[in-house]
Amino acid sequence: MKLRSHRSRQLALDRCLQLLEEAQVKGQARIDGPLGTSLRGYLERAGVIADHRLEGRRIDRVLDDMFALQAQLLGQTPEDSRQRNGN
C-alpha cells in the first residue's frame, strides 16, 4: 500500500511539472489563477500543502520547487537550477 501511495504522489508531482512546462511553452512567465488552482489540486494529491499563494509567482521558480519536492520524494538531493546557473 505504501508503494501505491508513493506512486500516486509521484504522478501528482509529475502532472504539476507537466502543467508548468506547458505554460512556459505557451510563453507564460507567471502563474495565473487557473494554473494556480490546478497546481494546488495536484499538490494536495501529492500530500503537499502550498504554504503560500502560487498565483503571481514566476514559473521557473516554482519549477525549481517542484524538482526539489520530486527529489525529496525519491530520496535524492535536490538540485537547484538557480544555484547551478549562478542566479
Domain positions in the chain? 2-76
Grid cell listed for 3: 508503494
pLDDT score recorded for residue 25: 96
pLDDT score recorded for residue 57: 95
The reported pTM is 0.79
25 CB-near residues (< 8 Å, 6+ apart): none
Show pLDDT as tens, one digit a residue, over the chain (87 residues): 566 777 888 999 999 999 999 999 999 999 999 999 999 999 998 888 776 789 999 999 999 989 998 888 888 776 654 444 444
Grid cell listed for 57: 509567482
72 CB-near residues (< 8 Å, 6+ apart): 78
CA distance 83 to 87: 6
The answer to whether 13 touches 66, Cβ cutoff 8 Å, is yes
